[in-house]
Structure 1
């Protein structure tokens, strides 16, 4: 059996782009008992208007949460707020989608500062690390609903999906580097891949799956207007892949079609 896209779902970076589309499609396709916690830095700001419209379109299905992944206190406050609402239900799916990319592409070495490296790493790696660590009790609670027979099988009640990228691949670096150097982004996503591997090993004893996904080159603020994929196409593909994941996929880097990307 595989991951079921149901229950309590936490999505970061959900006010625009891929994150917003994830919330939209999850709201459309999950059952009545499912609930989506949609996070962004300023839920009441102008850049979150589309997200607020979604919460109105799906009343009672989406809760917006204020979350700044560069601020540990903000992360802790968000986790506490979700914990109070979930209570005994547990967290079924954590999607670490939020990320930053600086300086502006192509971000060559000459334009990249120490500050860029540190800030990108803090948001893209440390943020997901802290979220997984703080949410671990809730993820475990979701798995505790399994019967002994289900625990022996391949059923997954709790999963962490880290949104990564093909340009994190060291093997493919000679192929992808000429298009955009992006030192901070590449290095941070490679670190996120290692975080995925470590947590996949660490959390297997809890029956929690941890997998990294490449969404493709997508038409977003980061991907640009010439990207071949729309957010709808990318998210449709990723959700199909998520729903097909099983224990053998934990600790892997896959693309939106389910293909394995080499480290």
Structure 2
């Protein structure tokens, strides 16, 4: 199985769940990145403890304060990362941060919608804009001819619930059934699957929605 060889990686939403496990497995992989930038809203607070523990053991892990719903915070984080890279580029941007509020059509309000869009849709877009110069730098300096996660790429972590074609399979079912069905797939297994898929991605996968096994999910 191919291994990810990206030298510089940045992840959003790194203090728990899939984000935290991605950090753990990247650090413990056969080819750990020379720089891992793990971002979250409050790395110095109680929810950042696991990240701080990892950073104390791994000098290649750097914690960066970042709220993807705050455009100014994104710009500031990009400046911090650029300074830490000292002229190098960013190979891989993983937009993992997201929020899920268990509201129905009857209970959702405008604030719920705006908050979700700021974090889940606008946030990844602004992240891509802010870090594009560093991604282009990595692409220019990389030895590989084709784009890949080892050279320069943006990966947006999504969900089956983002599939429009899959709406009939999920919309009319209670959210609890979806959450319970996810319990069969542990975070560890999910991340191992993700890290086995990332090394095989290329330009032909651009814009595709893939599951943890690399199988295409219809939009």
TM-score by length of 2: 0.91
| Structure 2: gaps of 5 or more residues | none
For the residue of structure 1 that corresponds to 2:84, the secondary structure is helix
- Partner residue in 2 for 1:83: 82
Distance 2:155 2:75 in 1: 19
In structure 2, the residue matched to 1:115 is 111
Unaligned runs of 5+ in 1: 183-216, 218-222
* Alpha-carbon distance in 2 for matches of 1:239, 1:177: 29
Give the distance between the partners of 2:12 and 2:174, measured in 1 at CA.
Answer: 25
Distance 1:18 1:224, change over 3 A: farther
Query: Hey, what's the Cα distance between the residues in 2 that align with 1:146 and 1:33?
Result: 15
**More divergent stretch after superposition (31-40 vs 241-250):** 31-40
Q: Could you tell me how far 1:243 is from its partner in structure 2?
A: 1.2
The answer to whether the 8 Å contact 1:22/1:235 transfers is yes
Q: Is the 8 A contact 1:108 1:181 kept in 2?
A: no
Residue pair 1:3, 1:157 contacting (<8 A) in 2 also:
no
Give the 4+ runs in structure 1 shifted more than 2 A. Answer: 2-5, 30-33, 153-156, 178-182, 223-226
Task: Count residues in correspondence.
Answer: 216
Q: Which residue of the other structure, out of 209, 215, 218, is the alignment partner of 1:253?
A: 209
Q: CA RMSD in A?
A: 2.2
- Partner of residue 132 from structure 1, selected from 125, 128, 133: 128
Query: If the length of structure 1 is used for normalisation, what is the TM-score?
Result: 0.77
Q: Which residue matches 2:29?
A: 29
Q: Tell me what 2:94 maps to.
A: 95
Q: Which residue of 2 aligns with 1:214?
A: none
Change (3 A) 1:124 1:226: closer
In structure 2, what is the equivalent of residue 242 of structure 1?
A: 198
The alpha-carbon distance between structure 1 residues 73 and 83, as it changes in their structure 2 partners (threshold 3 A), is same
